[in-house]
Amino acid sequence: MTRFILLPGLVLSLVAPTAGAQTAVTGATALHNLMPVPATVSIEAGGLPIDSRFSVAFSGYKDARLEAAAKRMVERIARQTGIPILPKSGIAVLTVKCGKAAGRVQQVIEDESYSLKVTASGATLTAPTSYGVLRGFATFVQLIEPSPAGFVATAATIEDRPRFPWRGLMIDAGRHWQPIEVIKRNLDAMAAVKLNVFHWHLSEDQGFRVESKLYPKLQELGSDGLYYTQAQVREIVRYAADRGIRVVPEFDVPGHTGAWLVGYPHLASGPGPYEIQRRWGVFDPVLDPTNEQVYVVLERLFGEMAALFPDAFFHIGGDEVNGKQWAANKKIQAFMKRRGFKTDGDLHAYFNKRLNTILKKHHKIMVGWDEILHPDLPKDIVVQSWRGQKALADAARAGYRGILSNGYYLDYMWSTERHYLVDPVGKDAEALSDQQKARILGGEATMWSEWTTPEMIDSRTWPRTAAIAERYWSPATVRDVEDMYRRLDVVSRRLDFTGVLHRTAYRPMLERMTGGRPADALEGIVNLVEPVREYNRGRGLKQTQQSPLTRVIDAARPESEQARVFARLVDGLLADPAKKANRPAIERSLREWQDDAAAVQPLLDGFLLLEAKPIVERVSGLSALALRALQAIDQGTALKLSPEDTSLLAEAAKPMAEVHLMIVPPIRKIVDAAAGR
């Protein structure tokens, strides 16, 4: 495989600065590996040694939840450092002063602030509420670094509080089933980067994923047996609450209800029968807003679910109703005419108003996607914007509270940088008044699961979500992309110790492709590609929920670290008049890719690798071309490009096997420079 290239700049700042060096920074980057960056942080000399006697003491308020959180933090430190820390055997080195208990149910706005002071002789974490303690624990773990004498918590003074109160991750368990292990380990990773809302997308055309005792055919006929029992839901809600994370359930209505209608076809706007949908897209089946029976079912079902999910918010989806069943149903058309509804939107708003009344009865605040926004809806609903920042700004201007998800679609396979620079109150929202801005509660990264199974969901979610979490927590001024990547590199490796498999699941997926043979060279190649973006996957392919997701595109990470680092090396080379900078590292990479391409050849007959053939050929060809280009630069001669060279560059720039070969742009730069273009 291709060795990750160590840039001198990347090596910096992993150990506490030497004595005397003191950097006070406010909401900006400093020599630490904290993510999200705290509101204010001052990194100081030295650190607090961490050894097997480490323990936590509470000097203020404490309760079972806080003690459990302290125990989890100690276990996490033990895993991360490998130091066996025995329960109860320690001396207190971290003192926690908590002001008061958290309420029974976590509210959308809680005081999550904390102060953390770490010196060579001890650490003190002070917070007005339990939530601040939880956030401070997450920071304390991130301060632990190897020092020459062993692990230490870097000495620091931190005052911290979140920028936005709603910092979420949505996981779609409808399209591809995600068992509770997946949810649990992702909750642990969320807590590590201070996210506080788990939005659980629980029903889809492709599956209804929660046990209903009142309407059991929902899960019995609508889930292939793949659903959460009510006991499991309670377990997850408790697990999340322990970590200071709210659980907002989503039952998407009236569209995306194909799986509901298998068991209860009489609720549909069109004639059945219905089957669980196996394909991806927007489908016709939709609940009938003119059928009183629909409201009876929703009132009872939402009542059942409202009791399972203590959070004050309840997400009713509301997106992507294509209106076909409504248009084709004379009874519905007559109803609309009778009521004077001009558009499907009016009918949808009527439905949502009825729903809102139902939710109010169950003491829930309605949340829905952009489409629920309609002047008829009261101002206390919350809009989650997937369509764009303008929609969110308009909603805030109109008096609604909102959450931004546009720009945070993890399934779009964007780079971390691209997600990172999206600001919940950026773009159209910048012009809002402060009062209007305050209506934007925060954001949510969304992990839609058309192309995501339990095996690789973590690699789609992490580490990118850590950078998004920083956007939601840290001051708006924290936008240094290079420093973000520097810290993310470390944070990503340490997320291993929370239990997420974003790094470890890669190798077994590659070894499946090789039929159990060594996959090092294959890894070297797959390291260089990224999946096609947005909705460019699966076009023209007959893929369904049952299609194995075991291809190169499924193993490939959303962002190629190797290509990103290589591109920076090339920029360095070309910016250098003598063209010597980074030259050895660039040449070594190119030679390794050639070797990898050669070594992977005998494996390409495996059915899972057949489609990788052109990728491998182009890696080989491009590496050779770039080496020639380097030689030409060395010799000061102009590189002559053959028609084959030109065609190779053009072909390699197109997606192959639905992945992009990410070394093409930097190699093109070398070639252009060498050819004097």
Contact 226, 209 (CB under 8 A): yes
Residue 674: CB partners within 8 Å, gap ≥ 6?
A: 628, 629, 630, 632, 633, 638, 639
Write out the two tokens for 122: 């001890």
- CA gap 588, 445 in Å, rounded: 37
- From the list 324, 317, 282, the residue with the least C-alpha distance to 298 is 317
131 binds a copy of itself (CB under 8 A): no
Query: Which positions from 24 through 43 interact with a copy of itself, judged by CB under 8 A?
Result: 33
Write out the two tokens for 46: 């030295």
Q: How far is the CB of 587 from a copy of itself (least distance, A)?
A: 12
Going by their DSSP bridges, the two strands 122-129 and 401-404 should be labelled as unpaired
Query: Of 145 and 284, which has the nearer Cβ to a copy of itself?
Result: 145
14 binds a copy of itself (CB under 8 A): yes
Stretch of 267-275, 317-325, 372-380, 516-524 contacting a copy of itself, by CB under 8 A: 516-524
Write out the two tokens for 10: 């990347």
375 binds a copy of itself (CB under 8 A): no
Query: What one-character DSSP code corresponds to residue 128?
Result: E
148 binds a copy of itself (CB under 8 A): yes
Ordered DSSP codes for 276-306: ---S-S--S--B-TT-HHHHHHHHHHHHHHH
Query: Which positions from 479 through 508 interact with a copy of itself, judged by CB under 8 A?
Result: 489-491, 493-494, 496-497, 503-504, 507-508
Residue 28: CB partners within 8 Å, gap ≥ 6?
A: 37, 477, 478, 480
Query: Which positions from 214 through 243 interact with a copy of itself, judged by CB under 8 A?
Result: 224-226
Q: How far is the CB of 461 from a copy of itself (least distance, A)?
A: 18
Question: Given candidates 548, 575, 634, 646, which one binds a copy of itself under the rule CB under 8 A?
Answer: 548
567 binds a copy of itself (CB under 8 A): no
- CA gap 172, 151 in Å, rounded: 38
Dihedral sign of CA atoms 234, 186, 172, 385 in order: positive
Residue with tokens 């930097």: 666
Q: How far is the CB of 224 from a copy of itself (least distance, A)?
A: 5
Which residues partner with 94 through β-bridges?
56, 123
Dihedral sign of CA atoms 268, 273, 277, 280 in order: negative
Is 320 a residue of the active site? yes
User: Taking the chain, what is the end-to-end CA distance rounded to the nearest angstrom?
Assistant: 32
Q: How far is the CB of 149 from a copy of itself (least distance, A)?
A: 6
Query: Of 168 and 222, which has the nearer Cβ to a copy of itself?
Result: 222
* 3-state percent breakdown (helix, strand, coil) of the chain, nearest 5: 45, 15, 40
Query: Which positions from 150 through 179 interact with a copy of itself, judged by CB under 8 A?
Result: 150
Question: Given candidates 20, 340, 516, 643, which one binds a copy of itself under the rule CB under 8 A?
Answer: 516
Question: Which 3-state string (H, E, C) describes 572-611?
Answer: HHHHCCCCCCCHHHHHHHHHHHHHHHHHHHHHCCCCCCHH
Q: How many residues sit close enough to a copy of itself to count as binding (CB under 8 A)?
A: 69
Q: How far is the CB of 43 from a copy of itself (least distance, A)?
A: 16
Amino acid residing at 507: R
Q: How far is the CB of 47 from a copy of itself (least distance, A)?
A: 12
543 binds a copy of itself (CB under 8 A): no
Write out the two tokens for 629: 């280009």
Stretch of 34-42, 239-247, 464-472, 547-555 contacting a copy of itself, by CB under 8 A: 547-555
Stretch of 62-70, 313-321, 332-340, 605-613 contacting a copy of itself, by CB under 8 A: 605-613
511 binds a copy of itself (CB under 8 A): yes
- Give me the catalytic one of 235, 320, 417, 587: 320
Query: What one-character DSSP code corresponds to residue 343?
Result: S
What is the distance of C-alpha 324 from the center of its chain? 33
Q: How far is the CB of 519 from a copy of itself (least distance, A)?
A: 8
Q: How far is the CB of 212 from a copy of itself (least distance, A)?
A: 19
Query: Of 93 and 574, which has the nearer Cβ to a copy of itself?
Result: 93
577 binds a copy of itself (CB under 8 A): no
CA distances in angstroms from 548 to 12, 70, 209, 214, 545, listed in the order given: 42, 41, 21, 34, 8
Query: What one-character DSSP code corresponds to residue 105?
Result: S
Stretch of 97-105, 165-173, 212-220, 599-607 contacting a copy of itself, by CB under 8 A: 599-607
588 binds a copy of itself (CB under 8 A): yes
What is the distance of C-alpha 71 from the center of its chain? 26
Query: Of 305 and 510, which has the nearer Cβ to a copy of itself?
Result: 510
Q: How far is the CB of 78 from a copy of itself (least distance, A)?
A: 9
Query: Which positions from 44 through 103 interact with a copy of itself, judged by CB under 8 A?
Result: 52, 79-84, 86-89
State the catalytic residues. Answer: 320
Residues in contact with a copy of itself by the rule CB under 8 A:
1, 3-4, 6, 10-11, 14-15, 33, 52, 79-84, 86-89, 145-150, 224-226, 453, 455, 489-491, 493-494, 496-497, 503-504, 507-509, 511-513, 515-518, 520-521, 524, 545-550, 554, 588, 595-596, 599, 602, 605-608
